Amino acid sequence: MESLERLLGRIDRRLVYLGLVIFTLVPLVKQWNLPTPTSQPVQSLYDTIEKMPRDKIAVLGIDWDAGTQPESRPQMLALTRHLVRRGIKFAMIAVGYPQSPQLSQDVVDEAITAEKKLNPALDFRYGRDYVNLGYKALTRPWLLSFVTDTLGTVGSDWKNQPLSQTFMSGVRQWGTGGQVEVFIDLTGSTTLEEWRPLLYPKGVRVGAAVTAVMAPEQYPFLANRQLVGMLTGLKGAAEYEQLMKYPGIASRQMTGQSFAHIYILLLLAMGNVAVVSGMVRQRAERGRRS
């Protein structure tokens, strides 16, 4: 009878990869959703938006592009759906990538459409409830001017519509005593390092939605409350979806990842069983020879 280690060694590696594809793809096709425990940074960011007064404004830093889209897009969809659902006015601005305004506008359109399906009476309009300020080149003097005199610094939106014709016409001050209360940077770069030290001293509650590899650097700022909350990669988006009580693409993709991890653990277990089986067989053969 062929030994277990030899039998496993004869398995074509292409079959191993095929198994990984199947384990990952089936949960996505079937739209299975596994529960994801909510981490404190995600819960804190959710609570910050949930408790925002409706007469205050949120600003989203849309500093992501196609390279971080698998993580950043689900994050933005979850956050904007929450803002739309609560009726919180918000503005979007990019200082990292020129293509971000169009990518983000598509996400907001999807968020509004999704919320309208749940609430047909929803009336969330461009200019009255949200605005896209487009892309601006990142310099510290410009950022300082922007948060000091927003209307004077950015006179029009990304389609050259005057901001004086939107809800931003009354925005004069950020932070304590001002109209802008929350800023969330959805970023795949270092833009958060420019925004946070500028806004935190003004009393603006700063949140972050970052890629998974960026998250460890932000935990010290969560600890000292310079950040009120944070979404970490796809997992953070999935946690936020569960708080919003809708299973979206992030939840399904995280389920696919979980099944892929289970498959890899099964392969490791099989390999270890084969090794132990071989050791036992060799020991038995030495015992018979002696």
Q: Compute the chain's Rg from CA coordinates.
A: 25
Answer whether residue 1 shows pLDDT above 60: no
CATH 2.30.230 fits 40-246, yes or no: no
Q: Which long-range contacts (CB under 8 A, 24 or more apart) does 105-110 make?
A: 105/132, 105/158, 107/73, 107/76, 107/77, 107/80, 108/80, 108/132, 110/77
Please report, as a single letter, which amino acid is at residue 267: L
For residue 123, what pLDDT band results from cuts at 50, 70 and 90? Answer: very high
Confidence band of 5 (pLDDT split at 50, 70, 90): low
Provide the mean pLDDT of the chain.
89
Q: Which of 134-143, 155-164, 202-211 has the highest mean pLDDT?
A: 202-211
Q: Which residue has the higher pLDDT, 245 or 31?
A: 245
Summarised one tens digit per residue, pLDDT across range 181-204 is 999 999 998 899 999 999 989 999
Higher pLDDT, 112 or 7: 112
Q: Is 243 exposed, middle or buried (0-12, 13-18, 19+ CB in 10 A)?
A: middle
User: In terms of pLDDT, which residue wins out, 254 or 163?
Assistant: 163
**Sign of the dihedral through C-alpha 216, 82, 158, 141:** negative
**For residue 290, is pLDDT > 70?**
no
Strand partners, 59: 91, 183
Least confident span in 27-36, 150-159, 198-207: 27-36
Three-class HEC string of 58-84: EEEEEECCHHHHHHHHHHHHHHHHHHH
Does position 276 have pLDDT exceeding 90, yes or no? Answer: no
Phi-psi domain of 87 (left: phi exceeds 0; alpha: psi -120 through 50; beta: other): left
Most confident of 94-108, 132-146, 169-183, 237-251: 94-108
Q: How far apart are CA 94 and CA 101, in angstroms?
A: 7
Greater confidence (240 vs 269) lies with 240
Residue 173, CA distances (Å) to 57, 179, 197, 202 in order: 11, 6, 17, 10
State how far the Cα of 80 lies from the Cα of 76, in Å rounded to an integer.
6
What is the arithmetic mean of pLDDT over 128-135? 95
- pTM for the full model? 0.84
- Work out the burial of residue 107: count CB atoms within 10 Å of its CB; fewer than 13 is exposed, 13-18 middle, 19 or more buried: buried
Query: Encoding tokens for residue 207?
Result: 């949140």
What pLDDT is recorded for position 4?
66
What's the mean pLDDT in 26-54?
88
